[in-house]
Amino acid sequence: MADNTDEEHLDNPLNTQSENPSDEIIPTQDTETINLNQESENMEVHHHPDLHHKPKKWKEYFLEFLMIFLAVTMGFFAESYREYLSDRTKEKEYIRAMVEDLKNDSAFLVLSINDRIPYHVTMMDSAVHLFQAPSVNGKDRQIYQAFFIGTAWTYNFHPNQRTLSQLHSEGFHLIRNKNAIDIISQLEDQYKLDAQSAQFVENMQNDIDISAYVFADRDVTGKIGIITFKKFYETNTAELQLSDIPESVKINTANKEAIQLYTDKLKKYCFYIQTALKGQDIITLREITKTITVLSKEYNLE
């Protein structure tokens, strides 16, 4: 019986153990850990590619350098061309503005030479004749009218140098046309002569104005002056009617020597403006006309 019992023990699988330790059941948590470790190793292997490249040939380096050089050079030329176009546009704008200024100056000189100077000279001659009459009684208003219109000085020429001033201050280097530079320089030389002549003329005018207070009332001349210059700005002519002058005005004839000195100054001045000043204006007009012609041709201005 004992022997049978031993055999049952030997044959019972529940009482047996695996002879191979590796056949033991591995927990699920440990299995997952092993799998993660394997995946990490695989990722590390793929994360480190082979970085050993073959060295570039010198031709490749030269090609890269050439492409960069060409890109920089083309950018430089593009910027230079853009500045060139901008400068040429500004140059033409300056020339166009100058031509407009010159046209206005030309119109002023034409009006002065043909109308204003002769008109004012006529009125100054009338004032001289009235003063030299045996008696000025009853002619007070006529004298005021004649000497005031005659000495209104509406023909003094001061060229519009707005564009020239702008060119000298910020843009004369933009003018690259040699013919334009030459003609502008000639015109500026003429303007310098005009400035000298204008200073001389205005000194004579100031002297005549001061001398008039010997016989004219300051308050009356002030009121008439307002009327005259208002009409000048409205009509562009120094017109003064007898009705614009108060009937109560009187000419002070007490200082006959001073009046004679005044008329002498008028005569001298009339001679000067009909010869020197008018001749100067004609020369300036010719220079302005020539400048307009050259600039319009060189810059294709309409």
Residue 202 lies in a domain: yes
Q: Please give the Cα distance from 44 to 41 (Å, whole number).
A: 5
Counting the structural domains of the chain, the total is 1
User: Within 10 Å of residue 120's Cβ, how many Cβ atoms?
Assistant: 22
pLDDT of residue 7: 45
Q: Please give the Cα distance from 149 to 84 (Å, whole number).
A: 54
Residue 267 lies in a domain: yes
Residue 47 lies in a domain: no
User: For the residues of 206-227, what is the DSSP string, one character each?
Assistant: HHHHHHGGGTS-HHHHHHHHHH
* 248 close to 204: Cβ distance less than 8 angstroms: no
Residue 68 lies in a domain: no
* 152 close to 226: Cβ distance less than 8 angstroms: no
pLDDT of residue 12: 47
Residue 25 lies in a domain: no
- Report the percent of the chain where pLDDT is more than 90: 49
Residue 289 lies in a domain: yes
Q: Please give the Cα distance from 266 to 239 (Å, whole number).
A: 19
pLDDT of residue 214: 93
Over the stretch 139-165, which tens digit does the pLDDT of each residue have?
999 999 999 999 989 999 999 999 998
pLDDT of residue 11: 46
Q: Helix, strand or coil for residue 189?
A: helix
Note down the domain range covering 272. Answer: 76-298
Residue 8 lies in a domain: no
Helix (H) or strand (E) holding 114: none
Residue 205 lies in a domain: yes
* 110 close to 176: Cβ distance less than 8 angstroms: no
Cα within 13 Å of Cα(73), Cβ side: 6
State pTM to two decimals.
0.71
pLDDT lower than 70: segments of the chain: 1-56, 58, 60-62, 76-87, 171
